[in-house]
A and B are shown apart, each in its own frame.
Chain A
Amino acid sequence: MRLLLVDDEEEFVATLAERLSLRNIAADWVTSAEKAEKMIATKHYDLVLLDVKMPQVGGRELKKIIEKKLPGIKTIYLTGHGSEEDYQAGSAEAEYYLMKPININDLIAKINDALGK
């Protein structure tokens, strides 16, 4: 499986990808929706992990863009903090809606569950 991690916090997303790779999970990362679109155009991904609040284009809007190009792709949302309204709406759209900071073992369990593994 291959994941794409999208979060404007570079040090967070780069280190998370590194930790996933230590666990034999291939994960690319980018820091904006624009860069994510370019990655999606060149590689196949099974799941995207999207930060909900990013400058310009947030995770929820990016999910719609990605789904047009990769229908059926699984999504997990991540956020620092959001309103109850954000949580309700986001939970209905994605496989999971996780709050930072995350526990990597919980994340991997949810990735596997989302991908039916």
Chain B
Amino acid sequence: MSDRIDPLGEAGLAFYSKVSASISHEIKNSLAVLNESAGYLEDVTLMAKKGMNVNMERLESLAGTMLKQVQRSNAIVNNMNRLAHSLDDPASQIDLNPLLELMISLSERTTVTRGFKVSAASSDAAVTITTHPFFLENLIWLILDFAMTVTGDAKTIAMLPLKTESGVAINFTGLEKLTKRALYDFQTEPVRRILSILNGTLQADEDKGIITLNLPEKTNKQGGLS
């Protein structure tokens, strides 16, 4: 039996680990705000017991802060939950609009720390596809990571989901330094295997600075995962 780690499994674990690290960091930050807010309440309670004046407006604003942080943590955990459940079914019907929003949230810490802004142009109509959600999320993560190396000085990346004749596409725009050679080099074994599972292809438009991920409307579940 070979001891070699399967590149596809390794890519999936790396993706999941990075998202987990980012999410735990975000939750810790939120907990830190709650901790200081609770600590401040404790401080002013002690002061009030000693007969000192308490700024009620500050307390009101603190209550708002704490509620906001609970909502923030809840949203972070919900996103993590969605990612975790994306392994449940290898052929799920997905609307790309909320999926891209999820990917922006999951990658936000990484992209913002590196000084990038990632957005998604959502269309009014659903852009649906039946595919393996985890592998699609993993691939979008990898493309975003690569895209950050070929953007222009504005450091902005926009994702646009589209319906096409043969299925759907996601355009990654703002990639002024994109070359066909760079996109070819990006397609290492795990990327190629994920593309194979999804029956997808990648195209580079150097002049417009766009990577297009083409996907069929329905991935053959058996063929894709065998």
List the one stretch of A42-50, A54-62, A68-76 in contact with chain B.
A54-62
Q: Is the interface of A mostly helix, strand, loop or mixed?
A: loop
Q: Would you call A102 and B33 a contact (CB within 8 A)?
A: no
Q: Would you call A80 and B115 a contact (CB within 8 A)?
A: no
Q: Would you call A55 and B29 a contact (CB within 8 A)?
A: no
* Residue on A nearest B65 in the bound complex, by CB: A11
Instruction: Report A-chain residues with C-beta under 8 Å of the C-beta of B24.
Output: 80-81
Instruction: Report A-chain residues with C-beta under 8 Å of the C-beta of B36.
Output: 11-12, 15-16, 19, 101
Instruction: Report B-chain residues with C-beta under 8 Å of the C-beta of A102.
Output: 32, 35
Complex Cα distance, B36 from A18, in Å, reads 10
Instruction: Report B-chain residues with C-beta under 8 Å of the C-beta of A54.
Output: 113
Q: A15-B37, A15-B40, A19-B39 are in contact. Are A9 and B115 (CB under 8 A)?
A: no
Complex Cα distance, B32 from A79, in Å, reads 10
Asked if A104 is at the interface (CB within 8 A of a chain B CB), the reply is yes
Number of interface residues of A (CB under 8 A): 23
* CB-contact partner of B31 in A19, A56, A101, under 8 A: A101
Instruction: Report A-chain residues with C-beta under 8 Å of the C-beta of B39.
Output: 15, 19, 104
**A-B pairs, 10 with minimum CB distance:** A101-B35, A80-B28, A100-B32, A15-B36, A80-B25, A101-B32, A81-B25, A80-B29, A12-B33, A11-B33
Seen from chain A, the residues whose Cβ lies within 8 Å of a Cβ on chain B are 9, 11-12, 15-16, 18-19, 22, 53-56, 58, 79-83, 99-102, 104
* 14 sample A-B contacts, Cβ–Cβ < 8 Å, listed by A number: A9-B33, A12-B29, A12-B36, A15-B33, A15-B62, A16-B36, A19-B40, A22-B43, A58-B113, A83-B21, A99-B28, A100-B28, A101-B31, A101-B34
